[in-house]
Structure 1
Amino acid sequence: MTAAATDAGAELFARYAYAPNHLGYCGPPAGDVLRTGTAAQVRAAARRFSGAWPYLQVLSRMAGIDDPLDPRVVESYWFGGGVGERLDPRAFGAELLAVIGPQAGHYWSHLTADLLDEAAGNHAFHVLGVYPWTRLLGRGADEHPLHVLDSCRITWATVLALRGDEVDVRYRPLSLVGGALRLAEPVVTRIPAVVEGYAPAPGLRVDDAVALHWGRICGRLERSRLHELRASTVRQLERTNRRLLRVAARSERKGRVT
């Protein structure tokens, strides 16, 4: 984004939305805008993200903040905590479903009041609760949905080594154990730090904490953001696992009966 025309909320949204958008998974074709556009261009593109934009709208409205791209709103969406943490999660979920429910197709028939037990005003809820992928687990072919869930969530990692335009990082991937999602033991992987000349976190150093989205670095994580991201991820896993374990128990009972 052009430095002279940035605002903090638009810039933060662009960095974290860039990877899935560039890969064609999320939002309108806006990779160049997210990477080099003005704040006004990013703001216009953000309104066309059918996933993230409703969260930002509902968060800002319920928090009494006029701008959905206010930095406090954008931070709360990507990392958890912040203004979203002070809202009643079921009330937030009800308002969100009122926005996105009418737009949902048959793949989204799970967007009912039953989902309110998992609700939170952040991206972790969107990935683990709203997206259909957790509902594909436990059917005998878990590798692909687990990969999508792990890639789509915002992940914290530690830089171990710098290798030109790539870095080695250590992070804890998702695993499925006993029908529940867990954070596995740390693994090391090599990922790009620069993509087509775009470096969202220039000047990286060994031991930096960074955020990952779809295998790309989004930026460094300050201590407060790292804490909020960890806490919101663990909390969402606990909420979602209650559903997954209920479903697994019902399937087991049904299997014994038949």
Structure 2
Amino acid sequence: MSTPAEAATTRGTEMFARYAYAPNRLGYCGPAETSALRGGSADRVRAAARRFTGAWPYLRVMSRMTGIADPLDHRLVESYWIGGGVGAGLDPEAFVAELLAVIGPAAGHYWKYLAEESLAGEAAANHCFHVFGVYPWSRLLGRGGAQPVRVLDSCRISWATVTARHGDELTVRRRRLYFHEGRLLLSAPAALSVPVWEDGYSAVPDVAPGRLVALHWDRLCGPLTTVQARALAASTTRQLRVTNRRLAAQPTGVGHRR
């Protein structure tokens, strides 16, 4: 029988793999070989996780600040991807200072805005902050074009309700991100087609209408409880609010190139 710590690690590695797979498969994050995130052992998932230059620094810092020894403990992984949980209690200024000490040396020479004073008001120990605050895409919105909004919308974790299943294809309703009059907003729920299986794997193989699910790059990455969906909605709403505050103060056309 596993100990509580071992069980938390097992759940954490499984969740990390499910949420990280879609961007990894597309070549955006992590190692080039994706098989470790599809049925790989816990050791292989852990080795792959260490090569995610986005998620892994967050988990390491969250581990140190919470005193939870394993960065892949389920409590940390869930809090990072969804928001809320143990990460929500961390001091934002202290968190961003520790985070930048880890990622700053690698990113600072091309993302000049990564400074404590500019990010402290937006910081949170979750993926949503990484997408909107650390990645450069929200700073490219004023230049026009659809790509920044598309990337932001795809990269954030979103919540959706399954409305129909036809074989191995789902219809879900989710809120899309759009940019209007200088603000990032969420639309009313709209239909989206999502495959149940990807590369012979499904995060929710028995998914049925009425189920709440999480999406990453428009791919299933797991079921959501009502509590988790509320936490994800709250972390997203909060991040959009602080991002829009920055956008309102940002001169038109100002952006940063990677």
TM-score (norm 2): 0.92
**Could you tell me how far 1:30 is from its partner in structure 2?**
3.6
Please tell me whether residue 149 in structure 1 is matched to residue 152 in structure 2: yes
Partners in 2 of 1:144 and 1:7 — Cα distance?
A: 36
In structure 2, the residue matched to 1:117 is: 121
In structure 2, the residue matched to 1:16 is: 19
Q: Gaps spanning 5+ residues in structure 1: where?
A: 1-5
Partners in 1 of 2:32 and 2:110 — Cα distance?
A: 23
AA of the residue aligned to 1:92: F
Number of aligned positions between the proteins: 245
AA of the residue aligned to 2:197: V
Q: Gaps spanning 5+ residues in structure 2: where?
A: 1-8
**In the alignment, is the contact (CA less than 8 A) between 2:23 and 2:29 conserved in 1?**
yes
1:97–1:105 distance in 2 versus 1, CA, 3 Å = closer
Please tell me whether residue 65 in structure 1 is matched to residue 68 in structure 2: yes
AA of the residue aligned to 1:185: A
Please tell me whether residue 131 in structure 1 is matched to residue 132 in structure 2: no
Alignment of 1:1-258 (within 5 A): 7-104=10-107, 106-113=109-116, 114-141=118-145, 143-247=146-250, 250-251=251-252
Partners in 2 of 1:105 and 1:21 — Cα distance?
A: 23
**Could you tell me how far 1:105 is from its partner in structure 2?**
5.2
**In the alignment, is the contact (CA less than 8 A) between 1:156 and 1:229 conserved in 2?**
yes
TM-score (norm 1): 0.92
Q: Which structure is higher in RCO with an 8 Å CA cutoff and minimum separation 6?
A: 2
More helix by share: 1
Partners in 2 of 1:14 and 1:155 — Cα distance?
A: 17
Q: CA RMSD in A?
A: 1.4
Any idea what the Cα deviations from partners look like across 1:75-95, whole Å, max 9, x if unmatched? 110011111111111110111
Partners in 2 of 1:238 and 1:41 — Cα distance?
A: 38
Partners in 2 of 1:69 and 1:176 — Cα distance?
A: 34
